[in-house]
Structures are given as structure tokens and as C-alpha cells.
């Protein structure tokens, strides 16, 4: 039984609303309440699909007056499904798709409903890019508000490092801007602890020249060679230039056209490269890794950046069941390598694929105090992702993920906030470190003292 919102409240919001109001029982309700993670099954009382800022303001004000619980949704890719709630109101920004690029000033404006692939399409038309994540159907808003790591980060920094300004609607339903010059305290907090302070309706980014072709793609070895591949990899990337960002993935080889049939379903370890510089230089840099042992498949070659960006899309579709445990690691020491290699062999689901992101480069050169984001000095972030198609086998795979994460516990440094499930306040504090966490609490008291925005990696006001 779905909790009801007073009809008068729903009618008040619907009056003059530019977008679409969806109630339980409406034809599109089932589709619109669903989020990316199929294991999340919540039933909001109302979904307000906003067409613009005026709709967002109206939705916040009505929810506030009526005392409704509010979830904010952009791309709907929150791992723990924080962008949908039972009963209350979902303020859904997915219709707000505007993107504008000024190629001369190298600036882009993107509304909150834009997905990563949609932004890349507009910016790459001019050979420009905002560094962001590795799956094109991820929401730009949630990703940016937590930091934003991906293929271009070691060259250009995190997604938040490109941010010039944001436009927001506060918990009072007021429209504000934040940048280094205006509401600088809010701008500091938004870059890492985003959703706690308001609803961002638009982002302004600086753009970087890129491609459009890059040397990029995966090189595969049998998973039983994981420990030796990881040791060689660790030593190889120690001297890597910023142009190179790598991600290591353990998985069963997917049945994709680029993968030969005899490899389908075989356990593999892949070192995936993206060289954000001249492909010729990249060839020199990548050669030692591709010559290590005997790769069973090498798909690292020059290709359009947007093609590389969509490589993981089929591996993380909407509707499968996902569970995550994550931590940052200072280094891939021999002990860490052995734990990873050992646990990789124990995954049972054919759909699980867990990435280890290489950090450093430009990410580490921005001052840690400059934004709420924490952990710039870490070497790696590992995302132990347990995936099944539906409920069958999910519990076992979840247990595998938890045990793997626990085995790494002596080596945990921080955790990236966008890779958290709902893990409690201590883990959110860990994501920001104790000092920033206190500063963020004070900021929360200033901008959202009633914790109106609480369905997020929440920082409750003191």
C-alpha cells in the first residue's frame, strides 16, 4: 500500500506545474519510481518531474509546507537508491536536459538532468571534455556533487575541479548561486558533499581539450595470473605520466562482439587504459604493460573518446541487482595484491565486475582543503561490486563483497562518498575526515538546519 499525499497538496503542486506530476496508479508510475539499482523497490506518494527551476522551487515549497519527506533524483544511479523514497515526494530533475557549450571561452552549462554521455556528446563536438565517470548513463548531478572520478582525472582533475559555479534551490525554496566569489562557503561544501545543502539545478564547467581520438581500451590476462599482473602493473604505473589513467577490473569475460567467443565466461583480469595525450606517445607508455606475460586479448588502440566512454555501459544496465563495498587504498602492497587476487577467484556471479581506480596525478595536486572532497592523496579506490540479474544468488554475492572488504580492512584509508551504500554516520564522517565533517555540519546548520535534504549521504546538522 503506497502512502497517500493529501489530494489538495498534489493538486496545489500540479497547478501551473510545467513538468509532469505522477501519482500511484498513473500509467507511468511503475517506470518512473524505478531507479538504476534493481534491488531498490520503493513507492513514493508523488513524483514531480520538473521542467525547470520554477518547478523545483514549487516542489520544495509545497513539500516543506506539507511536511513531506523528499528524495531528489537526477540520473537515479545512487548505489543505495537514495533518489527514491517510500511515501514522500520525489523531486525528479531528469527532464532538465539543457546543455550549452561556448567553445571559445571553453565553458559548458549543464542542467541537473543531463547524463554523462549527453554532456560528452555536446563537448566532444568541439574536441572538449569535462572529466567525469566511466558509464555514460550515470547522472552528471549526483556524480559531480560527490567529486567525480573517471578516465580523465589524472590529466585534468576531478569533475568538481572543473566547476566554476552552480545554481541551486535551497531548503527554503530560495534560488541561490555559488562560486568562488558568491556564497563561497556553500561552493566549498557542494564540491564533495553536494546534495546536503540544496538542489543544484545547473552546473557551469570549465572545459579541457581532448581527442576526439584517444589511445584507450582493455588488455586481458587469465584471472589466475591476477597477482603477477597486479604486481607488474603497480610498478609500471609508479612512473606513469598524468595523461595515463588506468582501471583494473576482475570479471568473467562478457559475451560482447569485441570479445572472441572462446573467452566468453572465462575469468579474466583486465588493465584498462585511457591515454589523454597523443596516441603515439601513449603507445610508448603502454607498451611494457601489453608486453607483460601473454595477454589473451588486447583491445587498447586509438578510438573516439566517446566510444571508450561507453565501453562499460552493457556491464552495468538498469534493473540488475547491485551491492557495493568500497574503500580507498594507499598502495597495492604485496599483501593487498594477494587479498585482491585471492578474493577475485571467489566471486561466483558471472555478472560481477569490480574496478580498482588509479588515482593521483592532477587529482592529488589540488589542495585537500580547497573543497569538501577528501582523500586526494590516496593511490587507489576499489569498488567491490556484487551483481546479479535479480534476487537469485544476490545474498551469496553480497556476502562475498562484504568478506572481501573486511579482508582489506587493515589497509583502508578513506572512502569515496559516491561509492557508499547506506552505511551510517561513521562512514560518512570517514569519507570527509573528522575536520571537514565538522565544517560540513556547521554549513548544514546554516543552509539546511531542519535537515530537509536528508536522503543523501547525510550530514545531520548539530
Ligand X SMILES: Cc1cc2nc3c(=O)[nH]c(=O)nc-3n(C[C@H](O)[C@H](O)[C@H](O)COP(=O)(O)OP(=O)(O)OC[C@H]3O[C@@H](n4cnc5c(N)ncnc54)[C@H](O)[C@@H]3O)c2cc1C
What is the distance in angstroms between the CA of the first residue and the CA of the last residue of the chain?
A: 35
Give the residue with the Cβ less far from ligand X, 93 or 119. Answer: 93
Tell me how far apart the alpha carbons of residues 107 and 165 are, in angstroms, rounded to a whole number.
Answer: 11
Give the residue with the Cβ less far from ligand X, 73 or 436. Answer: 73
Give the residue with the Cβ less far from ligand X, 149 or 186. Answer: 149
Separation in Å, CA 89 to CA 69, 239, 279, 389, 453: 6, 50, 49, 28, 12
Tell me how far apart the alpha carbons of residues 439 and 185 are, in angstroms, rounded to a whole number.
Answer: 10
CA–chain centroid gap for 323, Å, is: 14
- Strands 380-388 and 213-222, by their bridges, are unpaired
Residue with cell 556484487: 386
What percent of the residues of the chain are helix, what percent strand, and what percent coil, each to the nearest 5? 35, 25, 40
What minimum distance in Å lies between the beta carbon of 193 and ligand X?
10
Tell me how far apart the alpha carbons of residues 433 and 175 are, in angstroms, rounded to a whole number.
Answer: 30
Tell me how far apart the alpha carbons of residues 166 and 205 are, in angstroms, rounded to a whole number.
Answer: 9
DSSP 123-162: HHTTTEE----S-TTSBHHHHHHH----TTHHHH--GGGG
What minimum distance in Å lies between the beta carbon of 11 and ligand X?
25
Interface residues with ligand X (CB under 6 A)? Answer: 36, 72-79, 82-83, 93, 112, 133-135, 138-139, 141-143, 145-146, 148-150, 194-195, 199-200, 316, 418, 455-456
Which residues fall within 8 angstroms of residue 158, CB to CB, at 6 or more apart? Answer: 131, 147, 148, 149, 363, 366, 373
Residue with cell 568541439: 126
What minimum distance in Å lies between the beta carbon of 456 and ligand X?
4
Give the residue with the Cβ less far from ligand X, 141 or 363. Answer: 141
Give the residue with the Cβ less far from ligand X, 167 or 242. Answer: 167
Q: Contact, 13 vs 21, CB < 8 A?
A: yes
Give the residue with the Cβ less far from ligand X, 134 or 341. Answer: 134
Tell me how far apart the alpha carbons of residues 389 and 152 are, in angstroms, rounded to a whole number.
Answer: 30
Q: Contact, 148 vs 85, CB < 8 A?
A: no
Give the residue with the Cβ less far from ligand X, 225 or 401. Answer: 401
Give the residue with the Cβ less far from ligand X, 36 or 233. Answer: 36
* 394-407 vs 334-344: helix crossing angle, rounded to 10: 170
What minimum distance in Å lies between the beta carbon of 182 and ligand X?
18
- Residue 193 C-alpha cell reads as 558533499
- Residue 414 C-alpha cell reads as 578513506
What minimum distance in Å lies between the beta carbon of 81 and ligand X?
7
Q: What is the largest CA-CA distance in the chain?
A: 69
Give the residue with the Cβ less far from ligand X, 139 or 217. Answer: 139
Give the residue with the Cβ less far from ligand X, 18 or 260. Answer: 18
What minimum distance in Å lies between the beta carbon of 93 and ligand X?
5
Tell me how far apart the alpha carbons of residues 405 and 381 are, in angstroms, rounded to a whole number.
Answer: 12
What minimum distance in Å lies between the beta carbon of 247 and ligand X?
9
β-strand partners of 108: 101, 205
What minimum distance in Å lies between the beta carbon of 232 and ligand X?
24
Amino acid at each position: 500500500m503506497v502512502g497517500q499525499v493529501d489530494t489538495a497538496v498534489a493538486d496545489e503542486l500540479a497547478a501551473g506545474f510545467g513538468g509532469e506530476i505522477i501519482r500511484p496508479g498513473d500509467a507511468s508510475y511503475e517506470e518512473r519510481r524505478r531507479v538504476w539499482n534493481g534491488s531498490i523497490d520503493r513507492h513514493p506518494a508523488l513524483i514531480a518531474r520538473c521542467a525547470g527551476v520554477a518547478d523545483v522551487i514549487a516542489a520544495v515549497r509545497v513539500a516543506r509546507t506539507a511536511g513531506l519527506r523528499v528524495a531528489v533524483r537526477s540520473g537515479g544511479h545512487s548505489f543505495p537508491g537514495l533518489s527514491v523514497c517510500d511515501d514522500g515526494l520525489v523531486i525528479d530533475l531528469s527532464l532538465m536536459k539543457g546543455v550549452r557549450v561556448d567553445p571559445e571561452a571553453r565553458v559548458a552549462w549543464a542542467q541537473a538532468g543531463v547524463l554523462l554521455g549527453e554532456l560528452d556528446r555536446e563537448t566532444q563536438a568541439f574536441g572538449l571534455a569535462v572529466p567525469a565517470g566511466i558509464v555514460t548513463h550515470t547522472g552528471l548531478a549526483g556524480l559531480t556533487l560527490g567529486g567525480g572520478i573517471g578516465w580523465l582525472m589524472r590529466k585534468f582533475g576531478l569533475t568538481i575541479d572543473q566547476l566554476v559555479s552552480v545554481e541551486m534551490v535551497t531548503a527554503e525554496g530560495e534560488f541561490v548561486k555559488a562560486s568562488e566569489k558568491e556564497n563561497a562557503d556553500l561552493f566549498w561544501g557542494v564540491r564533495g558533499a553536494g546534495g546536503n545543502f540544496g538542489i543544484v539545478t545547473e552546473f557551469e564547467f570549465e572545459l579541457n581539450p581532448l581527442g576526439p581520438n584517444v589511445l584507450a581500451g582493455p588488455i586481458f590476462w587469465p584471472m589466475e595470473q591476477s597477482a603477477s599482473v597486479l604486481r607488474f602493473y603497480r610498478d609500471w604505473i609508479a612512473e606513469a605520466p598524468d595523461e595515463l589513467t588506468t582501471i583494473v577490473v576482475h570479471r568473467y569475460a562478457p559475451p560482447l562482439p569485441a570479445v572472441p567467443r572462446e573467452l566468453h565466461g572465462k575469468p579474466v583480469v583486465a588493465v584498462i587504459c585511457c591515454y589523454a595525450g597523443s596516441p603515439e606517445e601513449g603507445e610508448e607508455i603502454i607498451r611494457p604493460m601489453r608486453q607483460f606475460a601473454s595477454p589473451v586479448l588486447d583491445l587498447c588502440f586509438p578510438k573516439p573518446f566517446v566510444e571508450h566512454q561507453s565501453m562499460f555501459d552493457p556491464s552495468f544496465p538498469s534493473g540488475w541487482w547491485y551491492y557495493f563495498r568500497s574503500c580507498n587504498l594507499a598502495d597495492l602492497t604485496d599483501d593487498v595484491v594477494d587479498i585482491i587476487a585471492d578474493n577475485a577467484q571467489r566471486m561466483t556471479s558471472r555478472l560481477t565486475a569490480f574496478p580498482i581506480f588509479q588515482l593521483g596525478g592532477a587529482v592529488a595536486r589540488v589542495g585537500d582543503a580547497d573543497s569538501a572532497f577528501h582523500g586526494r592523496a590516496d593511490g587507489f579506490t576499489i569498488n567491490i561490486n556484487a551483481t546479479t540479474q535479480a534476487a537469485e544468488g544476490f545474498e551469496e554475492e553480497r556476502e562475498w563483497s562484504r568478506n572481501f572488504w573486511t579482508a582489506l580492512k587493515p589497509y583502508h584509508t578513506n572512502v569515496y562518498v559516491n561509492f557508499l551504500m547506506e552505511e551510517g554516520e561513521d562512514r560518512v564522517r570517514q569519507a570527509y575526515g573528522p575536520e571537514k565533517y565538522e565544517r560540513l555540519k556547521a554549513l548544514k546548520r546554516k543552509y539546511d538546519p531542519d535537515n530537509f535534504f536528508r536522503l543523501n549521504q547525510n550530514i545531520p546538522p548539530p
